[in-house]
A and B are shown apart, each in its own frame.
Chain A
Amino acid sequence: MLKALLQRFGQTVFVLFGISVLVFLVFFATPGADPTSRIAGKNASPETIAKVRQEYGFDRPLPVQYATMMKKLFITQDLTSYANRGEKVVPELIKAAPVTLSLATGGAVIWVVVSILMGTVAAAFRGTWIDRTLMAIGLIGISIPVFWLGQVANLITQARYHDTWLFSWVPALGYVPFAESPVGWFKALIIPWCTLAVLFIGVYARVLRSDLVTVSGEDFMRTARAKGLSPTRVLLVHGLRTSMITFVSLFGMDFAQLIGGGALLTEVVFGLQGVGRLTYQALSALDLPLIMASVMYSAVFVVLANALVDVIYIFLDPRVRDGR
Chain B
Amino acid sequence: MAGDAPLLDVRDLCVSFRSGGRDVPIIENVSFTVCEREILGIVGESGSGKSVTAMAIMRLIDDPGVSLRGSVRFRGQELTTLPQKAFRHIRGREIAMIFQDPMTAFTPVYTIGWQIDEAIRVHERVSKSEARTRTVRLLGDMGVPDPERTANRYPHQLSGGLRQRAMIAMALSCNPALLIADEPTTALDVTVQAQILDLLRNLRTDYGSAVMLITHDMGVVAETCDHVMVLYSGRVAERGPASAIFTQPAHPYTAALLDSIPPLTGPRPMRLPSIAGVPPAPLERPPGCAFAPRCHYAHDACSVLPPLVRFAEQDVACILPGEGKALPPRILHGAEA
Contacts and interface: CB of A to CB of B under 8 A. Distances in A.
Interface string B116-138: 00110011000000000000000
Interface string A148-164: 00000000000000000
A219 B110 CA distance: 15
A316 B107 CA distance: 12
B107 A228 contact: no
B162 interface: no
Given A219-B99, A227-B91, A228-B88, A316 B119 contact: no
Given A319-B154, A319-B156, A322-B157, A228 B92 contact: yes
B216 interface: no
Contact of A229 (B97, B99, B122): B122
Contact of B90 (A228, A233, A237, A242): A228
Of the four ranges (under 10, 10 to 19, 20 to 34, 35 or more), the interface on chain A belongs to: 20 to 34
Interface in A238-257: 238, 241-242
Nearest to A127: B64
A318 interface: yes
B91 A226 contact: yes
Nearest to A245: B109
A226 B170 CA distance: 11
Contact of B106 (A223, A228, A316, A322): A223
Interface in B41-78: 58, 60, 64
A71 interface: no
A237 B115 CA distance: 11
B145 to A, nearest CB: 20
Nearest to B88: A228
A220 interface: yes
A47 interface: no
Contacts of B157: 318, 322
Nearest to B123: A228
B219 interface: no
A316 B93 CA distance: 30
B99 A222 contact: yes
A223 B105 contact: yes
Contacts of B226: none
Given A318-B109, A319-B154, A227 B104 contact: no
Contact of A318 (B58, B92, B108): B108
A241 B109 contact: yes
B156 A228 contact: no
A319 B104 CA distance: 13
A237 B118 CA distance: 11
Given A219-B101, A226-B97, A228-B91, A319 B108 contact: yes
A228 B97 contact: no
B106 A318 contact: no
A60 interface: no
A34 to B, nearest CB: 57
Nearest to A318: B154
B156 A219 contact: no
Interface of B: 58, 60, 64, 88-93, 96-97, 99, 101, 104-111, 118-119, 122-123, 154, 156-157, 167, 170
Closest 10 CB pairs of A and B: A228-B92, A228-B91, A219-B104, A318-B154, A227-B92, A226-B97, A220-B107, A227-B119, A228-B88, A223-B105
Interface of A: 127, 218-220, 222-230, 233, 237-238, 241-242, 316-319, 322
Given A223-B99, A223-B167, 13 more contacts: A219-B99, A223-B97, A223-B105, A223-B107, A224-B107, A226-B97, A227-B119, A230-B88, A242-B108, A317-B109, A318-B111, A318-B156, A318-B157
